[in-house]
Amino acid sequence: SDLRDLYQQVIMDHKKKPRNFREITDANHMAHGNNPLCGDALVVYVKLNGDVIEDISFQGSGCAISVASASLMTETLKGKTLADAEALYEDVHKALTGDKDAVELAGKLQVLAGVKEFPARVKCATLSWHTVHAAVDNDHDISVSTE
């Protein structure tokens, strides 16, 4: 379908040119995330200024969906307040694991809506979201896993 083609284009674009793919040397929050099913792992760096995500980035290696999802996540969360970020995290969770129609998210998080067509890849798409959630919730480096 056209929608599926669009998702694939978005995924390949972000996989080839991941946005915010770098370390933040003065990050005040960070977390390591890994998917034990495949061994893919990434690090998310967050620089919080009060309750605003002033900067956010990631590094690591993973499949196209996990990298594209992380790239889109950093674009989505940069400049957001923690409250907005939490609301988005809840949306992602509901869209991928609950009843809420993922299409609602299509505008802002195409890759996540698209991944609904590949249910086996949900953990790939949520890896970066679990990782950023752990990062902002903790003031030390923490490891999370999708299992």
Chain residues binding ligand FES by CB under 6 A are: 35, 38, 40, 62-63, 65-66, 92-93, 96-97, 124, 126-127, 129-130
Q: State which residue, 55 or 91, has the beta carbon closest to ligand FES.
A: 91
Q: State which residue, 29 or 130, has the beta carbon closest to ligand FES.
A: 130
CB of 7 to ligand FES, least distance (A): 15
Q: Is 109 helix (H, G, I), strand (E, B) or coil?
A: coil
Q: State which residue, 66 or 110, has the beta carbon closest to ligand FES.
A: 66
Indicate left, alpha or beta for 95 from its phi (over 0: left) and psi (-120 to 50: alpha): alpha
CB of 40 to ligand FES, least distance (A): 3
DSSP code per residue over 22-50: S--TT-SEEEEEEETTTTEEEEEEEEEET
